[in-house]
Amino acid sequence: MSDDFYTMVDSGDPAPDNEHITGVREERDEGEQTTTQAPKAMYAARIAVYDDMLSTPRVIVIDPQDVRTYLEETTNTVYQCMKEQGGHISLMVIREIVENFIHAHFAEPIISILDGGDTIRFADQGPGIDDKERAFDFGVTSANSNMKRYIRGTGAGFPMVQEYLENAGGAVSIEDNMGSGTVVTVSLDPKRVQEIERAGGRGAAVRPETEQPTYPLPGAFAQQPMATQQMPPLGYSQQFPQQYQQGYQQPYQQMPQQQYNPWAQQMPPQPYQQWPQSFQQQMPTVQSSQQPAAQMMYPNAANQYAQPQPDVFVSDRGNAALGYLAQNQACGATDLARAFGNSAPTWSRTLNDLAQAGLVIKHGQKYHLTELGAARVRAQG
């Protein structure tokens, strides 16, 4: 079975001696044969399956055994658990990274299955990878002749994993483990992909408190106080004309005359002519209180579509995406990657930021400009 699974390598049998040439049988002591053999799997592999984040994981242990059977059983078990959780990661991705445990001499491998199977994290306590960026270049490998008895050793593993995940809208990262070793994370989950990308230079710790919000920015609504904040004080005692205030201070018999005469004189020529200037300046704001309650609860509603907010930060990549949408009506991350370069996950994150800012909206698998986004494009054009 294992021979069928790893057909790209040799059978693992000892290399023949030169007895058929020299006629002399070569003596090999036990220590000499040990040095020519590939590394043995001396540590058990632990597979942690997280059904949810509120309970401890289920742990499956792959006992130490010969390398070929060990790699096969670990790969198949991880793939089966991933599929049971509902994940969509390719078997090729799992196999390539499991095979890399041979570079760590199989030192304490731990595999975690997260996010409904769409995220898998491979960790070990081996010597680690010094130049993690070069690991994504084709042909770069540290596999020696002994390791190549069990793996291809051509340096194609991580580049193939990267290509697959980028085309599928996912991401992969290589980081240092605590103390020693390497942590490789592959994911197709959108939130986890953003977490991986925010790690930036690989090796950076990722925590919720280090996340920098992109929207709303501080003071984004400072120029748009709610209408209730500008309403005149209760009773309007300070904003009524002085003659009305005096009228209420007069004796009772004088109140009808001073209360109604001003209205009779002022309403025909011009209503509210004698109202204070401060109240007139607040009238437009008071009118906004008559709008539907939903528009007051959501600052990015219809009243903002007419005037783009200048304090909503949009990156150069975001502006490029808005311009592309203005010309093509709809697009996805793959369309932007083909048009401008960069990876599809990078554009996926950009589109998500624009959607949170209310500039684009997603229908199905494509994004479209909102009225606010279209107004911003027109303002910049």
Please report, for the domain that includes residue 147, its CATH number: 3.30.565.60
Question: Does residue 89 lie in a domain region?
Answer: yes
Strand pairing category for 182-187 and 58-62: unpaired
**Which of 163, 189, 210 is the endpoint of a domain?**
210
**Which of 182, 210, 238 is the endpoint of a domain?**
210
Q: Report the Cα 268 to chain-centroid distance in Å.
A: 64
Residues 205 and 340 in one domain: no
Residues 89 and 195 in one domain: yes
The residue ranges of DSSP E strands in the chain, in sequence order, are 45-49, 58-62, 110-114, 119-123, 171-176, 182-187, 360-363, 366-369
pTM of the model: 0.49
d(CA 128, CA 201): 16
Per-residue pLDDT in tens (0 to 9) along the chain, 381 residues:
444 444 445 545 555 555 656 666 666 555 444 444 545 688 999 999 999 888 899 999 999 989 999 999 999 999 999 999 999 999 999 999 999 898 888 899 999 999 999 999 999 999 988 888 888 889 888 887 777 778 888 888 898 998 898 888 888 888 888 888 999 999 999 989 888 877 655 454 334 333 444 444 444 444 444 444 455 555 444 454 554 444 444 444 444 444 445 444 444 555 444 445 544 444 444 444 444 444 444 444 444 444 445 557 888 889 999 999 999 989 988 889 888 987 777 888 888 889 888 999 988 778 999 999 899 888 887
| Non-local CB neighbours of 145 within 8 Å, separated by 6+ positions | none
Question: Does residue 249 lie in a domain region?
Answer: no
Residues 309 and 163 in one domain: no
Question: Does residue 258 lie in a domain region?
Answer: no
Residues 74 and 191 in one domain: yes
Question: Does residue 215 lie in a domain region?
Answer: no
d(CA 186, CA 94): 9
Question: Does residue 38 lie in a domain region?
Answer: yes
**Which of 183, 210, 237 is the endpoint of a domain?**
210
d(CA 178, CA 150): 28
**Structural domain count, the chain:** 2
3-state helix vs strand vs coil in the chain, percent to 5: 45, 10, 45
Tokens encoding 364: 């199905």
Question: Does residue 311 lie in a domain region?
Answer: yes
Q: Identify residue 290 by its one-letter amino acid code.
A: Q
Question: Does residue 352 lie in a domain region?
Answer: yes
d(CA 170, CA 166): 5
The residue range of the domain holding 106 is 2-210
| Non-local CB neighbours of 82 within 8 Å, separated by 6+ positions | 89, 94, 113, 117, 120
Question: Does residue 180 lie in a domain region?
Answer: yes
Residue 338's domain is classified under what CATH number?
Answer: 1.10.10.10
